[in-house]
Amino acid sequence: MRVALLPGDGIGPEVVEAAVRVLEVVAPDLEYETHLVGGAAIDATGAPLPDQTREACLSADAVLLGAVGGPKWSDPRAPVRPEQGLLALRAALGVYANLRPVRVIEALAARSPLRPERVLGVDFLVVRELTGGIYFGSPRGRDEDTGELRAFDTMVYSRSEIARVVELACRFAEGRRHHLTSVDKANVLESSRLWRETTEAVCAHHPSVHLEHQLVDSCAMRLLTHARDFDVIVTANLFGDILTDEAAALTGSLGVLPSASIGDGPRGLYEPIHGSAPDIAGKGVANPVGTIASAALMLRHSLGRPEAASAIELAIDRALGRGALGPDLGGELGTAAITDAILDALE
């Protein structure tokens, strides 16, 4: 099976290299192709997602990405930006659901900004709708019809867009603790009212799943006070973007959390949730755990190797439990040393 590697920008190449080291142990038969994306692709070709990269990803069995962006390309008015490459790649691959598992093990509980007793044992999955909502709605723009400059965006969802991501979330809930929390803003937004109606219709076909509705502001509070109550959370694009970054703080660092973007087929896009961290790029101190855990998700969801995925995840837990912590978690180990510790745990 073939994996397209997109190291990207900043610390991306360092953490992708670490993930490949681990993959070579648990799945030595995988083949890899490395291609440009993001700012590195803009510098080399003028496009954030070159045609060669796009075609390679479409012909691969899975895509593993590092990170995109950085100060060099940060002008929001620039016609070409690294993030456009990521959005175009998601559209090309047909992935519409972003999976972000959040799990706090004992070794990380003391690193959380919350008290350990509030986060120890937290284990939930956020399923974020990825291709609709306010990020893609039309119309959007600016006008001066009222005599002053205004800017506007539109939050649009169709029933089918909602139904497919909720159906996916229900299936994950059936494989976990059978509890689904749907997050919306139905007391204010018409799009959220359609979201709530559609969610109830889909969940009616999954009688073993207990459905709970939660307003997004209330959910944001509960993530800090009762995070252990959550099992699977499904929500719209904007709400999921915000809530998953908040949830990441429960673990004490963005550097340890993975993500998977999937659709109807087996091929998916896998990446850590952290950014390109240009301030530490090239220093050998980036935390590779999020990318290595993303590789485990890739093995499970796209490559059909759940045993190898579980082996990596168990090795990560053991390595962290033995003190394999980087500066982001108050430790002193660098990228290579943390990867070595995970490989030792695998053995």
* Residues acting as catalytic residues: 135, 185, 217, 241, 245
Query: In angstroms, rounded to a whole number, what is the distance separating the alpha carbons of residues 251 and 114?
Result: 9
**Which position has the token pair 């053995």?**
347
CA angle 126, 291, 113 (to 5 degrees): 60
- d(Cα 220, Cα 18) in Å, to the nearest integer? 33
Which residue type occupies 298? M
In angstroms, the CA 334 to CA 325 distance is 8
Closest-CA residue to 69 (of 91, 43, 38): 38
DSSP secondary structure letter of residue 251: G
CA dist 20 and 122 (Å) reads 28
Q: What is the largest CA-CA distance in the chain?
A: 68
For residue 235, give Cα distances in angstroms to 94, 130, 162, 220.
Answer: 18, 10, 9, 12
CA-wise closest residue to 295 among 328, 334, 268: 268
Residue type, 169: A
CA-angle at 308, arms to 302 and 314, nearest 5°: 120
Element (H or E) spanning 296, and its range?
A: helix 289-301
Residue written as token pair 């012909």? 59
Tell how strand 2-8 and strand 62-67 pair up: parallel
